[in-house]
Chain A
């Protein structure tokens, strides 16, 4: 398995533009998580889905952020309009709870720079 695949790896955009980050979870996993990592705040959970349904989006910072999971193999995180303070590394992770195993597998992340 190729693991969790995120695209793009790097994104530089101008303030006010729309940004879409993409994630392909590991096949068969039923939970998907979007995290944001910054030096100041560490790893923050933005939203997670279970069986394609958003369960908790309380970590989404503002209405400018939205996430979708139209099917089990694809999710997007959209920022519209983007602001410089959104600059961070965004990680997608997926997991499958089987018995005692609840490991979350992370993608390589998307480094977003908003100028």
Chain B
């Protein structure tokens, strides 16, 4: 069962443009929604994360928008740069004992053209 659905699978944006990646989740017990960025040959690394008590979180050019009623959240990359070209994964988790088990989306390969 795919609990986190991510779209699009790939995205091409011109330098300076806005990149938008969307995710939807099913499990209402999820209470932590991170985005991970992965460059080729590297492991995923946390980019930004949000909890459901806020509707938006911004860190530099990266913003998460969260819609609890729709069970959707999205990543917006403003002024996209070629260095942002990477694969982006949304994820979600809820408490499971004292460990947090992340469920990942399928990933979006972002290419920012110079």
A91-B43, A103-B46, A104-B102 as given contacts; A42 in contact with B107, CB under 8 Å = yes
Residues from chain B with Cβ under 8 Å of A48 in the complex: 99, 101
Residues from chain A with Cβ under 8 Å of B98 in the complex: 30-31, 50-51, 97
Bound Cα distance A73, B53 (Å): 35
Bound Cα distance A78, B99 (Å): 23
The answer to whether A93 has its CB under 8 Å from any CB of chain B is yes
How many residues in B have their beta carbons less than 8 Å from beta carbons of A?
A: 24
Q: How far is the CB of B35 from chain A (nearest CB, A)?
A: 12
Question: Cβ of A55 and Cβ of B102 under 8 Å apart?
Answer: no
Bound Cα distance A51, B32 (Å): 21
Question: How many A-B residue contacts, CB cutoff 8 Å?
Answer: 63
How many residues in A have their beta carbons less than 8 Å from beta carbons of B?
A: 26
Question: Cβ of A102 and Cβ of B106 under 8 Å apart?
Answer: no
Q: How far is the CB of A105 from chain B (nearest CB, A)?
A: 8
Residues of B at the A interface (CB closer than 8 Å) are 32, 34, 41-46, 49, 51, 89, 93, 96-107
Closest to A43 in B: B104
The 0/1 profile, CB within 8 Å of B marked 1, for residues 78-105 of chain A is 0000000000000101010100101111
Of the residues A30, A56, A107, A109, contact of B101 by C-beta under 8 Å: A56
